[in-house]
Chains A and B, each alone.
Chain A
Amino acid sequence: MVFQINFKSGMPVYLQVVDQVKAAAASGALQPGEGLPSIRPLAEELRVNRNTIAKAYSELESLGVIETLPGKGCFLKTNHSPLRKEVRRKLLTEEVDQAIVKAHHFQVPRAEFLELVNERLDALDEKRRANEEQKTN
């Protein structure tokens, strides 16, 4: 996969790598069992500190998104989250709450907000379908 680092986003660089792997996994751009670039070439290519990439990968591993096979590299795992369902729900609730607070300040009413959520879920599905088609072709 191809990573993009944006220093103007204000987000720590390692988190940008983490989020991009998560997003690629969600959209199917990265399939279970597929390998991630090794640390050294990726760090060189992005010209970021090797430790930053190592930190991102170990974070992804502790989140259960990827696994490291000794001598082979890092791969996307089939079954993502090692967390229990309630914990997953709780973590997601925090994120949803933040979006709701933002929606309030942007004066986006409930119906429009829900519509937007549906729209984004559809968009992700669409991306996933497109990625799947590309894989089968």
Chain B
Amino acid sequence: MNASTPAIKIEGLAYTYGRAEAVRDFDLTVNPGRCYGLFGRNGAGKTTTMKCLLNLLRPQRGSVRVFGLDPAKQEVEVKRRIAYVPDQVAFYPWMTIRETLDYLASFRENWNRKTEAELLGRFRLDASQKTGGLSKGQRTQVALISAICPETDLLVLDEPTSGLDPIVRREFIETVIGAYQEGNPGQRTILVSTHLITEFEGLIDEFTIMDGGRAVLSLDADQARERYQKIRVRFAQPPMDLDLKTALRVRRDGRELELIVNGGGPALLEQLRLRNPESLTSEALTLEEVFVATLKT
């Protein structure tokens, strides 16, 4: 395998539950070392897509490759290279945390005990406690430990922080950045699905917004923040004959306008500036605002 093999390559993926099309004609390329966000509302097809990567579901159409391998045909080889934190974490409730981690470690060829001890300490987890008595946040923490210790090249996170309190959410993300990424700087790949986009804003390099099983927008995060702008302008008089065709969305109230643009921001700003506005400001949209703007228009 060479350096240019994508960590994930999905082409024309389709999956239908009964009559409900969960994913259709979906493409995705994630290059090694990237942190890739899969954004979408509930039911957009994020989990189904991830399950196809893990061979928990078989694609009905299209192809899925993980490091160039087919998860259905080379399941062991693929699973060796992936760690996964599902949205619903379940363990055998009669096992202690210690037993659970040992059990999970027994399926792995590599398990970093030092990282394990460090993270147990960081999360203030008592390894002798039975997993049945853990809170949702603690179960997610144990799942994260079990995903990081094998030191895989790819980490797949499915709505990992939903339903957790803000402190646990922060710690979760810090751990992904620190303990996971630091292990092999520049090479660790992350695929994360979430609708808590703000939390992951700084982590995401690139993202795809899914809706109705399709990709509606795929973009580099820095590019998105450069292209999508919110412009606020106020004139002395209500403005006439402004050319706002390039704006994605226009809110207008008398002398004031709020515009959302996707590209063409500088040109529009220039046009507005020439009309001597009383005030004129612009700011980038956050990824969450890009998400809302994309799905509401």
Point out residues on A near B: beta carbons under 8 Å.
5, 7-10, 12-13, 39-41, 43-44, 46-52, 54, 105
Contact = CB atoms under 8 A, between A and B. Distances in A.
Interface string B222-266: 100110010000000000000000000000000000000000000
B283 A51 contact: no
Contacts of B181: 43, 49-51
9 contacts: A7-B202, A7-B284, A8-B283, A10-B282, A10-B283, A12-B225, A12-B226, A50-B177, A50-B178
B182 interface: yes
A105 B174 CA distance: 44
Interface in B34-56: 35
Contacts of A50: 177-178, 181-182, 185
State the main secondary structure of chain A at its contact with B: helix
Nearest to B201: A7
Contacts, number: 70
Nearest to A54: B185
Contacts of A41: 178
Given A40-B182, A49-B205, 4 more contacts: A40-B178, A41-B178, A48-B177, A50-B182
Contacts of A13: 202, 222
A47 B203 CA distance: 7
B248 to A, nearest CB: 16
Interface in B280-297: 282-287
Given A7-B201, A8-B284, A10-B226, A49 B177 contact: yes
Interface in B162-194: 170, 173-174, 177-178, 181-182, 185-186
Nearest to B225: A10
Contacts of A46: 202
A52 B178 contact: no
B284 A10 contact: yes
A47 B173 contact: yes
Interface of B: 33, 35, 170, 173-174, 177-178, 181-182, 185-186, 199, 201-205, 222, 225-226, 229, 270, 273, 282-287
Q: Which 3 A-B pairs have the closest CB atoms?
A: A48-B202, A10-B284, A50-B181
A41 B283 CA distance: 29
Given A47-B202, A49-B35, A51-B186, A10 B229 contact: yes
A9 B229 CA distance: 10
B263 to A, nearest CB: 12
B203 A9 contact: no
Contacts of B199: 47
A55 B11 CA distance: 31
Contact of A44 (B178, B270, B286): B178
A47 B225 contact: no
Interface centre among A46, A50, A52 (most CB of B within 10 A): A50
Contacts of A54: 185-186
Contact of A47 (B177, B186, B226): B177
A9 B177 contact: no
B253 to A, nearest CB: 22
Contacts of A43: 177-178, 181
A39 B185 CA distance: 10
A44 B181 CA distance: 10
B279 to A, nearest CB: 13
Contact of A51 (B205, B285, B287): B205
Contacts of B173: 47
Contacts of A10: 225-226, 229, 282-284
A47 B222 contact: no
Contacts of A44: 174, 177-178
